Amino acid sequence: MKKNFKRFWKLGREEFNTQYFDITKNGELMLKEGNYQYNIAKLVKQYGTALEVMFPFIVETRLHQLMDIFSAYIKLNDYKGKFYYHYPMKVNQHKQYVLSVVSEGANLETSSPNELWIVKRLWEQERFSSKIRVLCNGPKTERYIKLINELNQNGLTITPIIEHRDELVVFKKYKSEIGVRVNLNVKVKSHWDKRFNYFGLTEDEILKLGKIPNLGVISYHVSSQIQKLDGLTEPVKRLFSIYAKLRQRNPKLDTIDIGGGGAIPYVKKPMYTVKAAAQRIVKTCKQMSLKYNVKEPNIICEWGRYVVAPAQITVFKVITEKSVENGSNRKWYIVDGSFINDLPDTWTIHQQWHVIPVNNMNTRNNQRTWLAGSSCDSDDKYTAQGTYILLPKLQDETDQFLTFLDTGAYQDSLGARHCLLATPLKIIAHNGEVKVAAKRQSAEDIGKSFGW
């Protein structure tokens, strides 16, 4: 019986990243970290809702696997370049996540001076080995340039990635390696497949640059949540034609950076595996090196969402229900959080999520629902694109809790404060212990940032 409910809620399945989840005898959601376990319903009773729970061990496991798999295919293909992972800090800058990826051997990628400032802090606290390399993307403001130079002079390997022609002039005399970002003329299937992309230099611009002192890396980032394997390999093929031409004048160029893009099966439909992706990417690099008769470059990968999204869940309480007008027996479940504020991709890019109950998981008495947030905004809702979210029917005597899975990427830093609602309380569950990472904000806390 228990097994059926686990299957019903799509838990315990590696291909959906739910292998750590289980259901207790009482129908409550639990998560296992080795032989430690966390009962989410109990955590909710202790800490209240809205609640975010971070699981750093998931970050560590996923990163470890990713690096191992790429390295294995490099060996298997007798590929001469090395594999390097750089964690794109924009995906989740929370200290615990950054420390977790660094502990597994990740390098870093920043997109702003404030992210680089975090690197500076960690470096000053002597928390980094001097082997770590930091790639700096994003527009190079004065403050950014100053920090890049300062950290580089202090012995940290900082590679500014040139995104505009002006930046080439700024870093002309830079003593260490630099990189250049190309706006590849290739489109892939994903939400961000924009016709007009303003990041990096165009292919033409790059080829006209001639010799660039200390050029070591050529990078691109075509998109996020890339849907198909071809979307990962077509840009690699395109990049090689440029890499080969650039190398003729820049023999120090020995590294390609394939950016982010590894996808998450948010809606629990089959998706390519990291094994299939790594195999295809390494094989493509091997074939292209042969085709263009060039040195097999090192490969940098910046998959962010892939590593951190499954490491966080966001839990809400259902405050009340209402009928959906003309909604063929769907009910609105109104929750004590806000999609606009706490899971903004729901609103901005119509992200779909895997939503499951936290308690009453072994009931067959379920309800088709649409979810509404607590702000005043009619866009503050999640309807699974007009379909429905199946959740237990509400009972008078027990509160119903639900959780969104895979909320570890982008949501925290994009979050807003519509209607001055507080951000969820955030806890970290690690090595069997639970710690508060961010307290629940009071009216005073929020008011302060609005001048009150």
What residues line the site for ligand PLP (CB under 6 A)?
88, 90-91, 109, 137, 221, 224-225, 259-262, 302-306, 409
Residue closer to ligand PLP, measured from CB, 118 or 419: 118
Q: How far is the CB of 67 from ligand PLP (least distance, A)?
A: 15
* Residue whose pair of structure tokens reads 């005043």 in the numeric block: 376
Residue closer to ligand PLP, measured from CB, 61 or 338: 61
Q: How far is the CB of 301 from ligand PLP (least distance, A)?
A: 9
The Cα–Cα gap between 121 and 140 comes to 20
| Residues ≥6 apart with Cβ < 8 Å to 111 | 88, 89, 90, 137, 138
Residue closer to ligand PLP, measured from CB, 243 or 401: 243
Question: What are 221's two structure tokens?
Answer: 């980032």
- Sign, CA dihedral 250-253-254-256, equals negative
Residue closer to ligand PLP, measured from CB, 224 or 383: 224
Do residues 220 and 185 lie in contact, with contact meaning Cβ atoms separated by under 8 Å? no
Q: How far is the CB of 201 from ligand PLP (least distance, A)?
A: 14
The Cα–Cα gap between 42 and 367 comes to 24
Residue closer to ligand PLP, measured from CB, 31 or 232: 232
Q: How far is the CB of 430 from ligand PLP (least distance, A)?
A: 22
Quickly count helices (H) and strands (E) in the chain: 15, 22
Q: How far is the CB of 13 from ligand PLP (least distance, A)?
A: 22
- Residue of 443, 430, 452, 382 lying closest to 34 (CA atoms): 430
Q: How far is the CB of 160 from ligand PLP (least distance, A)?
A: 13
Do residues 270 and 412 lie in contact, with contact meaning Cβ atoms separated by under 8 Å? no
Residue closer to ligand PLP, measured from CB, 268 or 305: 305
The Cα–Cα gap between 264 and 309 comes to 8
Q: How far is the CB of 94 from ligand PLP (least distance, A)?
A: 15
Do residues 240 and 288 lie in contact, with contact meaning Cβ atoms separated by under 8 Å? yes
The Cα–Cα gap between 83 and 300 comes to 6
Residue nearest to ligand PLP (CB): 260
Residue closer to ligand PLP, measured from CB, 261 or 357: 261
Residue closer to ligand PLP, measured from CB, 137 or 383: 137
Burial annotation 137-149 (CB, 10 A radius, 16+ → b, else e): bbebeeebbebbb
Q: How far is the CB of 260 from ligand PLP (least distance, A)?
A: 2
- Residue of 174, 245, 255, 188 lying closest to 218 (CA atoms): 255
